[in-house]
Amino acid sequence: MIVQPEILKKALDAALSTGADFADIFLEDSYSSLLSVLSSKPEQAIVGQMYGAGVRLFFGEEIVYVTTNDLSEAGLVKAALNAARSRGQGSPKFISEFTPRRFDSLHTFGEKPWEMNRDTKFKWMHSLDHHSRKHSSLVTQVQVSLKEKFQKVQIANSLGVLAYDERANSRLVTEAFVEREGVRESSSDNKGLMGTADGLQGLDLKAWAEENVTRAVNLTKADYAPAGEMPVVIDNGFGGVIFHEASGHGLETTAVAKGASVFNGKLGEKIGNACLTAIDDGTIKNEWGSLNIDDEGNPTQKTTLIENGVLKSYISDEMGSRQTGYAKTGSGRRESYLYAPASRMRNTYIAAGNDTFEEMIRDVDYGLYAKRMGGGSVNPGTGDYNFKVTEAYIVRKGRIEEAVKGACLIGRGIDTLGKITKVSNDLKLACGMCGSVSGSIPAAVGQPQILVSSLMVGGRAK
Amino acid sequence: MDLIKTNFDKISARAASDGARLELMVSGGEILKLGYQKKVLQTFESKQTAVAGFRVILGASQGYAYTENLSLEALERAYVEALNNAKTLKSDEAFEIPLARPAAVPSFSGLNIQEEISMEDKKAAALALEQSCYAKDARVQNVPYSGFVEGKSSVRILNSEGLDQNFEQSYFTGYASPLVKENEFTKADGGRFFARSFKDVNPEAAALRAVRRSVEKLGAGKLTTGNYAVVIDREAVSTFMSMLSDNLSAREVHDSKSILKGKLGQAVGSDKLTLIDDPLDVRGTSVRPFDSEGVPSQKTVLFEKGVLKHYLTNLEYAKRMNLPHTASAARGPRSSSDMGPSNLVIQLGSTSFADMVKSHDKVIHLTKVTGGLHAGYNDATGDFSLPGEAVLYVNGERQGPVDQFVFSGNILDVLRDIEAVGNEYNFDEASSVISPHLLIKSLSFAGA
């Protein structure tokens, strides 16, 4: 608990004093740590505290949001009154008693970031550096970092919700730079969890470092990817960024309610082939994008978005639900108290299908096997997306052949869904950071291998 | 009473007894954001922030810690954490990281105008951003994203050498992004403004630019895959400068991560290119009287007629690498010391836009890069592959808009292949990149 419930009640009453329809308060006390190793030496050590609150009011569809760093009774009431008075005078309302949300955490944590021995953390990072350099003499630089966050949140609203939760996120990132005959390349990879850093304990650091360096070295031998439309097989794991960008953002009520999504009004309609089922699930134990409760105090859920090609649900928060009439899905998320929450994804993936990877490759006469994806972005209004491919191979007459580099995939979300013609049975998830209106948040993506019958590959024109 | 100074002095004395030297950065901000949708005020956000960040130096090592609680107790706790972080990184290297000494800094007028603007006037500006879009063209279906922002920010830096620098600025910004539709085509683009005084706020003009840009893209055709000469619109040059900026950091060079390593004094770019980092140019949005170590700002020529003249340095890396000090320290209170550009200014050339689009049989006028760099730029190599929107010219005649393409190349090749530099700037939308149009010999386009 960060603040006593009586204080929150007073602040909510102040927030409702000019007739708001709804009010909530989000309080945060979080500890962040960044450690890094560069040039085989410890490089950075930064720790810090975020401490503040956001008061949010609804007047119909109008959202008022005010933040403060003063979590005393006087500070919270003042912020609440500032929010309330921004809208002028209406009839005051008062909140009823709180009904505290009681729940058993879905996740397990070990030592908190400030408790765990730093030597252990630096040992992991030095080990990645050592194994990377030892694996190839072409390595010119290695940078390894460990980011940890431990966030305490308390949420109360005018519907009587009162909730407290603790969250932890830990992420280890390694990047290797190589140079071969004047050609430079790099490769980076990360492993993360919604949990404390001891959850990274079992990683095979040697194998991981070697795999990453091998990828960078292979890129130095690769020619540029071809340009043009072609079938693309996208690998499992982070390949799921295609669904995240192509569809996920357009299914958030933040975009739907504004009429800024190509998926607007398509609930119950067929938007993909029968092989496509997609899920957004915040309940997976210690998974990167998981939660117990969302940032509006609602229990997280497993939400089926698309089932056998038919749109079943949007991703909805409190305001999104009020605007669209669709049920809340426990998806109100934000980076910190500095942002009002918005409907956001958690762990979003395409569910396992019945095809095999080998069958997909066999089906391609000439195309691209996108083994590893980089970041992506989308315009939800048009559905236009793009994402980077960091490891790719040409597929010729059903066989995976030479490696290519510099590829990017672009398309329109709703078109791409209709072009997913095969889904394998080998589902994997991977972690990423998702940036949108309510800041940058941990969100996992995932999928089995999929075959997209035609996609625009941005490579080099021959 | 100046509490920040009083508390700093107490902690600085403690640092001296610990054998440490100290820098404190305190940044603060106030943001008011108003946004309408369908004449309903949907967003009213008022945020106040204050963060204090310590940098504690022990010889060659430095540790950092920050807090949003500015009480003496919280600041002392943060200092201890920063000191422990510096001890964690302690090395045997015989090097002393320098701190800035007190010095007079340039003063600016018109960057911190104290104006009392009524809430009604601010709401009217926010409403005008949305409603003007509808008024400009019947094809505007919706304005899902628009907003008016009033901002104030401050940064103060104090250190063990007795330095105490403070800079405050205020501004108004606004943006509108209408969704336009014709037949089955939907397009969205944006317009914005940046003003130091409310009297210069012009939401109608920003809305007009947003609508014009969106409508111009309706009916876009596909582009045949191939290599084309390109005019990079001055509005799109900032994407290419973002690719370049990290590589200019002396630290990136020192750590063998910059693609500009070993190229100082060499002709990297075309002789048409002169690029200057100018934190004193008030036409840009990244004006600063001092860098994030508190050193007075200065103008730095980065490329002169294509030759790489300087890396961006802070005090530490100027000393480590024996390079000229460019006062380019760039960090926030939550981050570690780094170097970065302020306003990047490309010097004017002599070629008109009309002459640029006539210079080759086919010329692509690249009006917008639509994807983020994280989704198509490789910072280890400088290679990029990004989606965009453009207009195709054949024999100097405008053929119409094109989209659904990806353009690819390498940032160093772009600098080398600048054939002509435009002869005018446009300050309708202030930015930290001040550039005319650039004509590039060839880029690869993947289209139909």
**Which of A71, A186, A388, A440 has the highest number of chain B CBs within 10 A, making it the mutation to test binding with B?**
A388
Q: Residues 6 or more apart from A47 whose CB is under 8 A from it?
A: A31, A32, A33, A34, A114, B64, B65, B66, B81, B85
Q: What is the mean pLDDT of residues A334-343?
A: 97
What distance in Å separates the CA atoms of residue B206 and residue B102, rounded to the nearest whole number?
A: 42
According to DSSP, the β-strands at B300-304 and A183-193 are unpaired
CA distance to A9, A377, A395, B316, B364, per residue, from A211 (Å): 54, 27, 22, 35, 40
What secondary structure does DSSP assign to B47-103, as a single string?
EEEEEEEEEEEETTEEEEEEES--SHHHHHHHHHHHHHHHHHT----------PPP-
Whole-angstrom distance, CA of residue A386 vs CA of residue A376: 5
Nearest CA in chain A to B141: A259
Residue A273 binned pLDDT confidence (cut-offs 50, 70, 90): very high
B82 closest CA partner among A115, A30, A32, A46 = A46
Q: How confident is the model at residue A377, as a pLDDT?
A: 80
Note whether A320 contacts B: Cβ–Cβ < 8 A: no
Contact at 8 Å (CB) between B316 and B97?
A: yes
Using the Cβ of B65 and the Cβ atoms of chain A, whether some distance falls under 8 Å is answered with yes
What was the pLDDT predicted at B170?
97
Secondary element (H or E) of residue A127? helix A118-135
Q: What is the pLDDT of residue A56?
A: 97
Question: CB contact, 8 Å: A136 with chain B?
Answer: no
CA distances from A179 to A402, A461, B147, B435 (A): 20, 25, 46, 33
Question: Is A35 in a helix, a strand, or coil?
Answer: strand
Name which of A258, A404, A434, A438 to mutate to probe chain B: the one with the most chain B Cβ atoms within 10 A of its Cβ.
Answer: A258
- Give yes or no for B71 touching A (CB within 8 A): no
Å from A437 to nearest chain B CA?
A: 11
Best CA proximity match to B175, nearest among B36, B317, B25, B5? B36
Q: Other CB atoms closer than 10 Å to residue A397's CB: what's the count?
A: 9
B259 reaches A (C-beta below 8 A): yes
Q: A295: Cβ–Cβ under 8 A, 6 or more apart, which residues?
A: A26, A153, A155, A332, A333, A334, A341
CA A341-A344-A349 angle, 5° bins? 165
Nearest one of A141, A123, A127 to A187, comparing CA atoms: A141
From B386's Cα to the closest Cα of chain A, the distance in A is: 7
Task: Tell whether A73 is covered by a domain.
Answer: no
Nearest CB among B371, B372, B380 relative to A185 is that of B380
Q: Which helix (H) or strand (E) holds A211?
A: helix A205-221
Nearest Cα neighbor of A26 from A62, A48, A50, A59 is A50
A320: left (phi > 0), else alpha (psi -120 to 50), else beta?
Answer: alpha
Where are the strands (E) in A39-160, listed by range? Answer: 41-59, 62-68, 99-100, 139-157
Which residues of chain A lie closer than 8 angstroms to B46, CB-CB? 65-67, 82-83, 86
A vs B, Cβ pairs < 8 A, gives: 226
Do B402 and B447 meet the contact criterion of CB atoms below 8 Å apart?
Answer: yes
Residue A307 pLDDT: 97
Tokens of A244: 């995240």
In the numeric block, the tokens 């730093």 are attached to: A118
- Nearest alpha-carbon partner for A258 in A402, A379, A154: A379
Supply the DSSP symbol for A438.
T
Packed helices A5-15 and A73-85: angle between N→C axes, nearest 10 degrees: 20
Three-state DSSP at B248 gives helix
Structure-block tokens of residue A130: 């050592």
Tokens of B344: 């990047």
d(CA B361, CA B358): 7
Distance of CA A293 to the CA centre of its chain: 16
Q: pLDDT tens for residues A152-208?
A: 999 999 999 999 999 999 999 999 999 999 999 999 999 999 999 999 999 999 999
Instruction: Determine the pLDDT at residue A380.
Output: 67
With CB atoms and an 8 Å threshold, state whether A48 touches B41.
Answer: no
Nearest-by-CA chain B residue for A50: B68
Judged by CB atoms closer than 8 Å, whether chains meet at A177 and B405 is answered as: no
Q: How confident is the model at residue A387 (pLDDT cuts 50, 70, 90)?
A: confident
Residue of chain A with shortest Cα separation from B376: A388
Q: Say if the Cβ atoms of B334 and A46 lie within 8 Å.
A: yes
What pLDDT does residue B432 have?
A: 97
Contact A45 B64 (CB under 8 A): yes
pLDDT in the model for residue A306 = 97
Q: For strands B362-369 and B226-232, give the pairing.
A: parallel
What number of H helices and E strands is found in chain A?
9, 23
Which of A49, A122, A382 is the closest to B188 by Cβ? A382
Q: What is the pLDDT of residue B448?
A: 65
User: Which among A61, A122, A461 has CB closest to B225?
Assistant: A461
Phi, psi torsion values for A111, nearest 5 degrees: -65, 140
B184 touches chain A (CB under 8 A): no
Say if A78 is an interface residue toward chain B (CB within 8 Å).
no
Pairing of strands B164-182, B191-195: antiparallel
Are the Cβ atoms of B375 and A374 closer than 8 angstroms?
A: yes
Nearest CA in chain A to B334: A48
CB-nearest to A61 from B42, B144, B403 is B42
The closest of A383, A250, A251, A245 to A326, measured between CA atoms, is: A251
DSSP-assigned letters across all residues of B103-162: ------SSSS------HHHHHHHHHHHHHHHHHH-TTEEEEEEEEEEEEEEEEEEEETTS
CB B103 within 8 A of CB B296: yes
User: What is the pLDDT confidence band of residue A460, given thresholds at 50, 70 and 90?
Assistant: confident
The pLDDT of residue A411 is above 90: no
Q: What would the pLDDT profile of A36-49 be if each residue is shown by its tens digit?
A: 999 999 999 999 99
pLDDT tens, A280-316?
999 999 999 999 999 999 999 999 999 999 999 999 9
Q: Give, as one character, the DSSP assignment of residue A383.
A: T
- Domains of chain B from N-terminus onward: 119-148+169-216 (3.30.2290.10), 220-448 (no CATH)
Judged by CB atoms closer than 8 Å, whether chains meet at A227 and B47 is answered as: no
Using CB atoms and an 8 Å cut-off, which of residues 2-61 of chain B contact chain A?
A: 37, 40-50, 53
Give the type of residue at B181. K
Instruction: Calculate how close chain A gets to B217, using CA atoms only, in Å.
Output: 12
Nearest to A303 by CA among A322, A324, A284: A284
Q: Does B279 touch chain A (CB under 8 A)?
A: no
Q: Within the 225-244 window of chain A, which residues sit less than 8 Å (CB to CB) from chain B?
A: 225, 227-229
CB contact under 8 A, A66 and B47: yes
List residues bridging with A388 in a β-sheet.
Answer: A408
* Residues facing residue B37 across a β-bridge: B40
A258–B43 CB contact, under 8 Å: no
Rg (CA), chain A: 24
Q: What is the pLDDT of residues A426-445, one digit of tens each?
A: 999 999 999 999 999 999 99
pLDDT tens string for chain B (448 positions)?
899 999 999 999 999 999 999 999 999 999 999 999 999 888 999 998 999 999 999 999 999 999 998 899 999 999 999 999 999 998 888 999 999 999 999 999 999 998 999 999 999 999 999 999 999 999 999 999 999 999 999 999 999 999 999 999 999 999 999 999 998 888 889 999 999 999 999 999 999 999 999 999 999 998 998 999 999 999 999 999 999 999 999 999 999 999 999 999 999 999 999 999 999 999 999 999 999 999 999 999 999 999 999 999 999 999 999 999 999 999 999 999 899 999 999 999 999 999 999 999 999 999 999 888 888 899 999 999 998 999 999 999 999 999 988 899 999 999 999 999 999 999 999 899 999 999 999 999 988 6
Is B118 part of the contact surface with chain A (CB cutoff 8 Å)?
A: no
Residues of B in contact with A51 (CB under 8 A): 67-69
Chain A: nearest CA to B284, how far in angstroms? 26
- The answer to whether residue A343 is domain-embedded is yes
Give the domain extent around A366.
228-458
Q: State the Cα angle at A291 between A290 and A292, rounded to 5°.
A: 140
Q: Looking at the 3D structure of chain A, how many domains does it have?
A: 1
Rounded distance, CA A109 to CA A33, Å? 17
**Do the Cβ atoms of A458 and B42 come within 8 Å?**
no
Question: Roughly what angle, to the nearest 10 degrees, separates helices B119-136 and B203-216?
Answer: 30
**Would the CB atoms of B408 and A459 count as touching at under 8 Å?**
yes
For B385, which of A68, A375, A407 is closest by C-beta distance?
A407
Q: Quick check: B85 and A45 CB within 8 A?
A: yes
For A114-146, the pLDDT digits (tens) are 999 999 999 999 999 999 999 999 999 999 999
Q: Which residue of A has its CA nearest to B374?
A: A375
DSSP string, B2-16: -HHHHHHHHHHHHHH
- C-beta of residue B150 within 8 angstroms of C-beta of residue B122: yes
Distance CA B242, CA B254 (A): 20
Distance from C-alpha of A348 to C-alpha of A307, rounded to nearest angstrom:
14
Query: Do the chains contact at B372 and A38, CB–CB below 8 Å?
Result: no
A405 at B interface, C-beta within 8 A: yes
- Interchain contact B370–A (C-beta under 8 A): yes
Q: Does residue A411 fall inside a structural domain? A: yes
A386: nearest CB among B371, B378, B379: B371
Q: Does A84 fall in a domain?
A: no
Single-letter code of the amino acid located at A3: V
| B166 DSSP β-pair partners | B156
